[in-house]
């Protein structure tokens, strides 16, 4: 007659596992059957006391029962845990609409964002970057740039003076002179920085603003190269479909000179308030470095040619973001500053 104890133990365990209501209950079932003092453990231990002939058969059944109990406990445990987890989530509902815990980073000034973008584009075109003094001499700011005293061109830039010969630079162009005096061609540079004009602040004027100046001097560099470079810049800055216009103008330190306009992207060229009905937005001034300026720094205009350009960072930022009052950049109202990051 076969030994039925193993199958009875298995039956008991199956029943108790099914009745367990929680993973904690189930653990107790596990201990009861499989623990050190568990029923099955003890039964296995007692095998040595049964007749040798029956031993292999009973032992096999006992081990099968053990494996089966382990499996059914495992399955039941998974069931219970899933149920418990479900229950826990249901009882602690989360409001998915509650705002997330966000890190609160600060903001970069829009002028910094735009200036960085300009610098980035020209770095990509192989222009090095240099900075110069904001307090400049009359020589570098005017004389060396072909703007003598008593010349009407000085009216184009109202100037803050610190003394007879020392002033706040009115443009970044003095860096053209400083770099050309310090280096030999070929040169390819941009000069970002603050500049100052004695203009009363209003929606379109500011006594302080920022420029990025560019300069390239080489043996054979033409106005065509200037045009191509600035068109590339405009498309990179304002989008690939940007249309540009090169228009003659006058700067004392370039000859020929050109103003660069982009097609008004608000009206598409039809004419609107922002472009003053012209369909074009002026973005920068440029030109071939005046031969006299080259001579002023000891270059031979028959040997090298060069071009330069200068743009206002505020102007570009105003166009890019649709800002209609330049004073906003310097008021630093946090509700303004936090719009650009």
Cβ nearer to another protein, comparing 52 with 334 = 334
- By the rule CB under 8 A, 171 interacts with another protein: no
Q: Is 199 exposed, middle or buried (0-12, 13-18, 19+ CB in 10 A)?
A: middle
Q: With binding defined as CB under 5 A, does residue 266 bind Zn ion?
A: yes
Closest CA to 234 of 247, 222, 244, 245: 244
Residue 243 contacts by C-beta under 8 Å, 6 or more apart in sequence?
A: 262, 263, 269
| Binding of residue 131 to another protein (CB under 8 A) | yes
Q: Which is nearer to Zn ion, 264 or 308 (CB)?
A: 264
CB of 237 closer than 8 Å to CB of 260: no
**For Zn ion, what does the binding mask look like between residues 51 and 90, x meaning CB under 5 A?**
----------------------------------------
331 binds another protein (CB under 8 A): yes
Report helix, strand or coil for 179: helix
What track of x and - describes contact with another protein for positions 46 through 65 (by CB under 8 A)? --------------------
Give me the least distance between CB of 136 and another protein, in Å please.
Answer: 7
Owner of token pair 């004009």: 197
Q: Which of 77, 156, 272, 297 binds Zn ion (CB under 5 A)?
A: 272
- Hey, which residues between 132 and 161 contact another protein (CB under 8 A)? 133-137, 149-153, 155-156, 160-161
Given 46, 276, 324, 339, the residue binding another protein (CB under 8 A): 276
Beta strands at 187-196 and 128-129: parallel, antiparallel or unpaired: parallel
Sequence-distant (6+) residues with CB within 8 A of 196 are 134, 159, 160, 168, 169, 170, 207, 208
């Amino acid at each position: 007659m076969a030994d039925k104890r193993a199958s009875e133990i298995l039956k008991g365990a199956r029943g108790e596992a099914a009745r367990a209501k929680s993973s904690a209950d189930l653990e107790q079932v596990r201990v009861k059957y499989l623990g050190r003092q568990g029923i099955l453990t003890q039964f296995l231990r007692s095998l040595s006391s049964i007749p040798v002939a029956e031993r292999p058969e009973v032992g096999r059944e006992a081990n099968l029962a053990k494996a089966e109990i382990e499996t059914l406990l495992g399955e039941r445990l998974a069931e219970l845990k899933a149920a418990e987890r479900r229950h826990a989530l249901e009882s602690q509902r989360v409001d998915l609409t509650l705002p997330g815990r966000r890190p609160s980073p600060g903001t970069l000034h829009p002028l910094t964002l735009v200036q960085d973008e300009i610098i980035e584009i020209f770095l990509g075109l192989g222009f090095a970057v240099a900075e110069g003094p904001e307090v400049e001499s009359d020589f570098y700011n005017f004389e060396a740039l072909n703007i003598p005293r008593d010349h009407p061109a000085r009216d184009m830039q109202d100037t803050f003076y610190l003394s007879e010969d020392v002033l706040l630079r009115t443009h970044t162009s003095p860096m053209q002179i400083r770099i050309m005096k310090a280096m030999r061609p070929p040169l390819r540079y941009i000069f970002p920085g603050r500049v100052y004009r004695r203009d009363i602040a209003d929606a379109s004027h500011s006594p302080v603003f920022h420029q990025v100046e560019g300069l390239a001097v080489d043996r054979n560099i033409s106005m065509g190269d200037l045009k191509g470079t600035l068109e590339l810049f405009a498309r990179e800055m304002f989008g690939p479909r940007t249309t540009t216009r090169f228009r003659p103008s006058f700067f004392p330190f370039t000859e020929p000179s050109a103003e660069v306009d982009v097609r008004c992207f608000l009206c598409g060229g039809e004419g609107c308030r922002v472009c003053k009905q012209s369909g074009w937005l002026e973005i920068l001034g440029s030109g071939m470095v005046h031969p006299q300026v080259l001579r002023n720094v000891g270059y031979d205009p028959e040997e090298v040619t060069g071009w330069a350009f200068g743009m206002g960072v505020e102007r570009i930022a105003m166009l890019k973001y649709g800002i209609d009052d330049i004073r906003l950049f310097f008021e630093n109202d946090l509700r303004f500053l936090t719009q650009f990051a």
